[in-house]
Chain A
């Protein structure tokens, strides 16, 4: 049932219950799928066969056809009516395309940015950092053992000391008051 041009329903994830077309059958039980997004909100993506449920409908498309080609074929065969989907207007198609362009541009920018940034600051900062790095390292270990050594015994010693004397005088005072009343 699962071959290029087969119309399917997605069964998993946020796109479940929505129709898509198979564009390519990949290895390891995966499939390339598209709504297209402008029509059924299913993004062009790789997808497991287990997450796709075939329908009796099929369309004649090339392998790896573009979204525009798929939309044109839908119009010819009257698939929008069969699937109960609104035919997307020119605005909707442009919106979907813009979103993809932005996504691709963002992904490219994210890949390219860190490469030039990383080497540049390292070269400049290396000589500067070395001097301050060495200095604080030597200073830090000195105060740390002092701090670690001091507070531990203080805490251990203080807690019992503070609590016990508070209770005892309170108890004594009460008894004293009672005695005084008597």
Chain B
């Protein structure tokens, strides 16, 4: 039997054939989804995929791009947004 905590569905179940030939169920924490752009929903580059505890161990510069909106918007969307802001600023 797995431990009490492992019976919840927040764990991923994987069947593994052991060297002895029997099939056993191994439990692992589910991996979070890929980071996506908030506007175009395309997957983001430069944002690692891992549990929060794993990401905390990385350097700050390795967690997300260092540009404004880094880790939230993709590069082309950021450029479009910055251009729009520039346009709006000088209209007034």
A residues near B, CB below 8 A? 9, 11-14, 16-17, 53, 55-57
- Bound form: Cα–Cα A47–B79 in Å: 15
Partner among B66, B68, B75, B90 whose Cβ is within 8 Å of the Cβ of A17: B68
In the complex, number of A-B residue pairs with CB atoms less than 8 Å apart:
30
Q: Are B83 and A53 in contact (CB under 8 A)?
A: yes
Known contacts A14-B66, A14-B67, A55 near B82 by CB under 8 Å: no
**Interface SS of chain A:** loop
Whether B18 is near chain A, meaning CB under 8 Å from some CB there, is: no
Q: Are B86 and A55 in contact (CB under 8 A)?
A: yes
For B56-92 the 0/1 string (1 means CB < 8 A from A) is: 0000000000111000000100110011011001100
- Bound form: Cα–Cα A56–B86 in Å: 10
**Interface SS of chain B:** helix
Partner among B68, B75, B82 whose Cβ is within 8 Å of the Cβ of A53: B82
Chain A hits for B90, CB < 8 A? 55-57
B residues near A, CB below 8 A? 66-68, 75, 78-79, 82-83, 85-86, 89-90
18 more contacts with CB within 8 A, not counting A9-B86, A12-B75, are: A9-B82, A11-B78, A11-B79, A11-B83, A12-B67, A13-B67, A14-B67, A16-B68, A16-B78, A16-B79, A17-B68, A17-B82, A53-B82, A53-B86, A55-B86, A55-B89, A55-B90, A57-B90
11 contacts between A and B (CB under 8 A): A9-B82, A9-B83, A11-B82, A12-B67, A13-B67, A14-B67, A16-B79, A16-B82, A17-B68, A55-B86, A55-B89
Chain A hits for B89, CB < 8 A? 55
Chain A hits for B68, CB < 8 A? 16-17
- Bound form: Cα–Cα A13–B75 in Å: 8
Chain A hits for B86, CB < 8 A? 9, 11, 53, 55
Chain B hits for A55, CB < 8 A? 86, 89-90
- Bound form: Cα–Cα A62–B68 in Å: 31
| Nearest CB of A to B8, in Å | 36
- Bound form: Cα–Cα A12–B69 in Å: 11
In the complex, residue of chain A having the shortest beta-carbon distance to the beta carbon of B89: A55
- Bound form: Cα–Cα A14–B75 in Å: 11
- Bound form: Cα–Cα A56–B92 in Å: 12
In the complex, residue of chain A having the shortest beta-carbon distance to the beta carbon of B85: A17
Q: Are A12 and B85 in contact (CB under 8 A)?
A: no
| Nearest CB of B to A150, in Å | 25
